[in-house]
Structure 1
Amino acid sequence: MFGKKSAAPSRRDVLRATGLVIGAAATSSLGPKTTKAAGYPTRTVKIIVPFAPAGPTDIMARTISAHLGDAIGGSVIVDNRAGAGGNIGIGLAAHSEADGYTLLITSSAYVVNPGLYAKIPYDPYTDFAPIAELGTSPNVILVDPKLGINSIAELFARAKAEPNSLNYSSPGIGTTPHLSGELLKIVGGVQITHVPYSGAGPAVQSILGGTVQICCAALPPAHPLIESGDLKALALTSAHRWFDLPDVPTMVELGYKDFIADTFQGFLAPAKTPPEVIELLSAKAIEILKTPKVAEQLRAGGFEVIANGPEGMRKRIADEVPKWREVVAKAGIQPI
């Protein structure tokens, strides 16, 4: 399945089965058509991030929240609720009051967890109203420079010569970096022990502290450490090289043509949140992301800005829940 000759996992069309009606993804701000939600907000708006601080989802949430308060005329805070691969924070948001005062910015764990866990505290199709598809970033395979490994081939050779001697950290079970690490083991035919953390920040810190030798993480929290030389990037899981990391190859370039995985960030609200609040938040989030200074800041930090409205986020959910369910099954990962 995941070797050099295999085809990429197919995507099933689940739109009819889920009852989702998908329109064209919004690609521009709603601008003057947006109606100010009457009386909103009158108190602090809380954005739940289901991971620890300093990871890509937290970085995106704090970037958005820094501007969203002024944009909607209120106060916006970030509330990190890490644990259980994102399920704790996502579940908390799903069962919050649908009044626009508790929101969620989440990662790909939102669409991976339905296939990875036997039971999760939310329905990805019905418990949330999409606000916006914010951005995405490739995952990166990192090593401690002191390890003396400078390529994926050398990593595989070391792992085969010294079975079970290496371990890798990830932002948590079920995250796309975790699955990238498992795919790495499959394509290399090696045994490397997984050490899950509560977010990308702690996962990256674990390799800096010498707890693990390898880390699979989304690019944003690792990017400055790659540039400084504190960490060495062996490969990216994107289709193309990153614009300012020209020396880091992709797994595709190395011959593993189906080895593509990214970590996205999506903005959602509990289902039945008033449509006018969703419209306002969507328009303002997209405006923020399309501000040149913010867009460049995010790109330089390892994000590809998407800035699509609710339909873009809804389509991603419809596409990726079955996609990752299939990847988990074919990787032989048993539901937790």
Structure 2
Amino acid sequence: MRDNKGLLPSRRQILKAAGLAAGAAAAPMLTPGRAFAATYPERPIRIIVPFAPAGPTDIMARIVGQSLGDALGGNVIVENRPGASGNIGIGYVAHAEADGYTLLVVSSAYVVNPSLFARIPYDPSKDFAPITELGTTPNMIVVSPTLGINSIAELFARAKAKPDELNYASPGAGTTPHLSAELLKIVGQVQITHVPFSGAAPAIQALLAGTTQMAVAALPAALPFVQSGEIKALALTGERRWNDLPTVPTMIELGYKDFIAETAQFFFAPAKTPPDIVTRLATKTMQVLKQPEVIAQLHANGYDVAADGPDALRKYVESQVPKWRDVIARAGIKPV
């Protein structure tokens, strides 16, 4: 009979193996992503904002980030990395370690820049994992009360009768207000001269001073002056009217189908972030966006909450990149 040295397991070996197998069966089966998610976050999370402090994107990131830190049981830090119309900060996060600790809050520049620049440091469809859209604010088409124009129809009639007379201020070339105005010119088949400024505030000040006859700006910048009567709002470019401006119609209401040109804010992680961490971030962020105090803060800053999750954001990006590519091409804006 052959002995069991090296050939048959001993009783002790059998019992030991059985014990290990039982222990393995009792232990939870954690994939690397789930193991990370179970303990995430273990250190502060950085939200990169690719624009200067105190702007709309920065305000959005700080409002959401503070409550998100509480919801996750960790610390969330907002870090500004401005430059190149947002491309510097976006590119930084695209190539950051995909561990859930470096995230991105970014505006509609994310979907516009691929058509404005010949080269950008990110691929909008491949380099990021969508978490959720955060909020949207419409752009507003406003004029000086002294211009004697009270509607979009009157604006188009004046522009056609005197094509060299009107000009408009915007917060800068390539911004969604600028592109909203270019879309307005396309649908109205009119020519209105663009006068770019370095931000929404100087664009509105130029209108107030009479330097320009009209302006297109994000709602938060123009709202106080519309409410005071210093400037007149002709239309909004969002999906619906704004609660604080019940008499101002949308372009859609005026008969311009699909004229939606909002400034949106998005929340992304680098593309290879573990799916369970992305899911946790999305779940907690959407919970935060349903808190009444957060909704109130965002509305006070001119935002409607948008919290539809990763799939909705992915589809939104897929629709917006070609939309703005078409507007930019039809407006004759050349990539730089």
Shared fold per TM-score greater than 0.5: yes
Q: 1:286: how far off?
A: 0.5
Aligned position for 1:5: none
The reply to whether residue 285 of structure 1 matches residue 285 of structure 2 is: yes
Conservation of the 8 A alpha-carbon contact between 1:55 and 1:201? no
Aligned position for 2:90: 90
Equivalent-residue separation in structure 1 for 2:330 and 2:119 (angstroms): 19
Q: 1:305: how far off?
A: 1.6
CA RMSD of aligned residues (A): 3.0
Counterparts in 2 of 1:278 and 1:335: CA distance versus 1, 3 Å = same
Give the 3-state SS of the residue equivalent to 2:244 in structure 1.
coil
Give the 3-state SS of the residue equivalent to 2:184 in structure 1.
helix
Aligned position for 1:166: 167
Q: Percent identical across equivalent pairs?
A: 61
Equivalent-residue separation in structure 2 for 1:50 and 1:308 (angstroms): 23
Conservation of the 8 A alpha-carbon contact between 2:182 and 2:327? no
Q: 1:332: how far off?
A: 2.8
Larger mean Cα displacement after TM superposition, 315-324 or 137-146: 137-146
Give the 3-state SS of the residue equivalent to 1:136 in structure 2.
strand
Structure exhibiting the larger radius of gyration computed from Cα positions: 2
Equivalent-residue separation in structure 2 for 1:215 and 1:35 (angstroms): 52
Flag structure 2 segments of 5+ consecutive residues without an equivalent.
Answer: 1-33
Equivalent-residue separation in structure 2 for 1:270 and 1:211 (angstroms): 43
Say which structure is richer in helix. Answer: 2
CA-to-aligned-CA distance 1:292-321 (integer Å, 9 cap, x gap)? 232243345432222121111111112222
Equivalent-residue separation in structure 1 for 2:304 and 2:41 (angstroms): 30
Conservation of the 8 A alpha-carbon contact between 1:55 and 1:220? no
CA-to-aligned-CA distance 1:144-186 (integer Å, 9 cap, x gap)? 556665443554566564826634112x433322211112333
CA-to-aligned-CA distance 1:32-82 (integer Å, 9 cap, x gap)? xx9983443344322222233444323321210121222222222323333
Give the 3-state SS of the residue equivalent to 1:89 in structure 2.
helix
Aligned position for 2:73: 73
Give the 3-state SS of the residue equivalent to 2:259 in structure 1.
coil
Q: Which amino acid aligns with 1:237?
A: T
Structure 1 segment 235-250 matched on structure 2, within 5 A: 235-250=235-250
CA-to-aligned-CA distance 1:256-314 (integer Å, 9 cap, x gap)? 33432222211001121233332222111111101123224334543222212111111
Conservation of the 8 A alpha-carbon contact between 2:138 and 2:236? yes
Equivalent-residue separation in structure 1 for 2:212 and 2:220 (angstroms): 19
Q: Bigger relative contact order, structure 1 or 2, given CA contacts below 8 A and separation 6+? A: 1
Q: 1:237: how far off?
A: 1.2
CA-to-aligned-CA distance 1:68-110 (integer Å, 9 cap, x gap)? 2222222223233333332222122212222222211112221
Aligned position for 1:262: 262
Give the 3-state SS of the residue equivalent to 1:286 in structure 2.
helix
Conservation of the 8 A alpha-carbon contact between 1:84 and 1:173? no
Flag structure 1 segments of 5+ consecutive residues without an equivalent.
Answer: 1-33
Equivalent-residue separation in structure 2 for 1:132 and 1:193 (angstroms): 33
Equivalent-residue separation in structure 2 for 1:256 and 1:95 (angstroms): 40
Counterparts in 2 of 1:213 and 1:334: CA distance versus 1, 3 Å = same
Conservation of the 8 A alpha-carbon contact between 1:55 and 1:221? no
Conservation of the 8 A alpha-carbon contact between 2:169 and 2:204? no
Conservation of the 8 A alpha-carbon contact between 2:109 and 2:175? yes
Conservation of the 8 A alpha-carbon contact between 1:164 and 1:193? no
The size of the alignment, in residue pairs, is: 301
Conservation of the 8 A alpha-carbon contact between 1:53 and 1:201? no
Give the 3-state SS of the residue equivalent to 1:308 in structure 2.
coil
Counterparts in 2 of 1:134 and 1:154: CA distance versus 1, 3 Å = same
Aligned position for 2:319: 319
Conservation of the 8 A alpha-carbon contact between 1:47 and 1:76? yes
Q: Which amino acid aligns with 1:106?
A: V
Aligned position for 1:29: none
Larger mean Cα displacement after TM superposition, 202-211 or 66-75: 202-211
Counterparts in 2 of 1:103 and 1:211: CA distance versus 1, 3 Å = farther
Instruction: Name the TM-score, length of structure 1 as normaliser.
Output: 0.77
CA-to-aligned-CA distance 1:211-263 (integer Å, 9 cap, x gap)? 65533222234334433445432211134322331121222334433432222
